[in-house]
Amino acid sequence: MKQARTNFRRTGTESESLRCRAMAVFACLLLCGSGQVLARDNGERAIFDAAFDDTFNRYHLPGLAVGIVEDGKVVYTRAAGELEAGKGESITTETLFKIASNSKAMTTGLLARLVDQGKLAWSDPVSKYLPEFRMHDDWVTQNIQVRDLLIHNSGLGPGAGDLMLWPEPNHFTRADIINGLGWLKPTHSFRAHYTYDNLMYVVAGEVAAAAGGKPYDQLLREQLFQPLGMQRCQVGEWNRIEVGNVAQPHMRIGDGNQVIRRDGDLVPDATGMAAGGIRCSLDDMLTWVRMWLDPQSQWVSATQRRTLWSVQMPMPVSQRMRNWDNTHFNGYGYGWRLSDVDGVWRVAHTGTLAGMYSSVTLLPDQRTGIVVLINGSGGEARTVLTQALTKHFTAPEQRATVAGYAEALAGERGKTGRSSVQVPDTSARASLPPAQAKDALGRYVDPWFGTISLCTVDDRVVFASDKSPLMRGEVMQVGGRWLIDWFDDSVDAEAWLEFHPRTADTGGRLSLSHVDPDADSSFDFPDLDFSRVADCP
């Protein structure tokens, strides 16, 4: 927020002093990157700068933006790198990043506003707002409440149905997602335990639209961006050229950063915007953080603030959390993860999309907040930087560093360089001869993912989805197995493809499974079950 100007006359000495300070600040900005540095003292600024620099250089990031709030005030902002590697356009504190799943807290904040306005209740059945909504189990359909959409207790497996959201761009609609949920089989009982999902947040966005009487993106602009002054945030369809200063996602390939899934001039309405499709700048996110850290803020009522930040679903406490943070509890509120760090209450979330990483960390009792935005392959970078900065406030005597946490992660991976199981060696792959696939060729349909083709293209067997254009690749042979080698490098989870021959009941089936058991769960291959419906064109 801008401070009001105070008009008074200064002496010549005071004016000269101010000019010197201004020159010093300008020099610092040139050396340190875009942004302002307002930390309490030079020692604290040096700690923040060291963490920023080590992260940026260690992980060869294309771009990084970091902001810190102390006692409710912005004390540090810094940005470095490029919107698009090699193009020379610098990232600033006004650059738009995909905040990914940090969108979820904005969705629950919007819902909380609607609760305050008497337009819905957390305990309302989802069917009250979306009569067409169906889950696989009829009892769940009848009993699932608005609150259940927000706390990852649906009974679905990890990432169930996420292939309707990602990889982007694709042609799935929110209506497709609501219809598709009825075909996704649960892996455990409804409300039994926490399993992260995204589709329920898409449904939650549609509930908000129905209760609020306007499309989700319009509601978010009117109820959140405008009253809070988050002027750069974008949701729904928007023009990249008119908005300007938009970071592009990158993937680390060899020794360089390569843009993936580059935006066109017109950024389309993201189907999953309520789950992870909002873009904001560092300045916007710090405005968002300061609102939550202000106990006097009336954007949502005190009652709803407590509700959003109350544990609604217990989550496991990992060994890393025990080792690094001495954590004793961990749970999910409405769009926020809640835990303790060194005896300090933490409210936080992360966001992950291909080539974009974000984190928001709040320490409400200290009125402290940390925002990290990255436009590259930044999973580990986000982890170590957020951790080192958080420790500065929860356990300063530990003098935690990015380097220390990077070494700890390397130790977890061990000598194999893997966090868990070994990936099969698929290097001895060769194109599958079309003659060997002749019985499997054809058009297939999955009830929630839609139609795909397994057909020959230029003497190659190609798997291609009708609704998800990036899910297209050549079928390779690895020993006695078939593997789909996706044409787009950003689709980084290869799949085994298995053909189940014709029977008296079916014309043949296809199923997919992960080559890498540790692949991102959003590549939801196991839930796919394709039935043959036609010959290739």
pLDDT of residue 194: 98
- CATH number of the domain bearing residue 496: 2.40.128
**CA–CA dist 93, 440 (Å, integer):** 53
In a domain, 393, yes or no: no
Task: Please tell me whether residues 160 and 274 are part of one structural domain.
Answer: yes
Question: CATH number, domain at 121?
Answer: 3.40.710.10
Mean pLDDT of the chain: 92
* One domain, residues 318 and 195: yes
Please say if the pLDDT value at position 416 is more than 70. no
The total number of structural domains that make up the chain? 2
Domain with 196 in it: 97-280+299-354
19 within domain boundaries: no
324 and 447 belong to one structural domain = no
Q: Is residue 66 part of a domain?
A: no
Q: Is residue 90 part of a domain?
A: no
Peptide bond into 167 cis (omega under 30): yes
User: Do residue 248 and residue 149 come from a single domain?
Assistant: yes
Please tell me whether residues 436 and 328 are part of one structural domain. no
113, 239: one domain = yes
Residues 324 and 222 in one domain: yes
Q: Measure Cα distances from 143 to 121, 139, 188, 206 in Å.
A: 14, 6, 16, 18
Indicate the pLDDT class of residue 38, thresholds 50, 70 and 90. low
How many Cα atoms within 13 Å fall on the side-chain side of residue 448? 26
Q: For residues 219 and 214, what is the distance between their CA atoms, to the nearest angstrom?
A: 6
Residue 45 pLDDT level (bands cut at 50, 70, 90): very high
* Same-domain check for residues 106 and 232: yes
Evaluate whether residue 445 is within a structural domain. yes
How far is Cα 423 from Cα 439, in angstroms, rounded to an integer?
Answer: 29
Give pLDDT tens digits for 216-236: 999 999 999 999 999 999 999
- 416 located within any domain: no
Decide if pLDDT at 24 tops 60: no
335 shares a domain with 224: yes
What is the reported pLDDT for 503?
A: 84
CB 71 within 8 A of CB 255: no
Residue 222 maps to a domain: yes
Are residues 146 and 267 both part of a single domain?
yes
Angle at Cα 420 formed by Cα 415 and Cα 422, nearest 5°? 75
pLDDT bin (cut points 50, 70, 90) of residue 39 is low
| Pair 197, 345 in one domain | yes
| Final residue belonging to a domain, choices 331, 354, 377 | 354
Per the domain annotation, does 144 fall within a domain? Answer: yes
* Burial class of residue 91, CB neighbours in 10 A (0-12, 13-18, 19+): buried
Together in a domain, 269 and 159: yes
Largest Cα–Cα separation, the chain: 96
Q: List the structure tokens of 333.
A: 């509120």
- What percentage of the chain has pLDDT greater than the value 70? 91
When pLDDT is averaged across residues 421-438 and rounded to a whole number, the result is 93
Tens digits of residue pLDDT in 240-249: 999 999 999 9
342-367: pLDDT as tens digits: 999 999 999 999 999 999 999 999 99
Residue 32 makes CB contacts below 8 A (sequence gap 6+) with 49, 78
For range 17-24, the mean pLDDT: 40
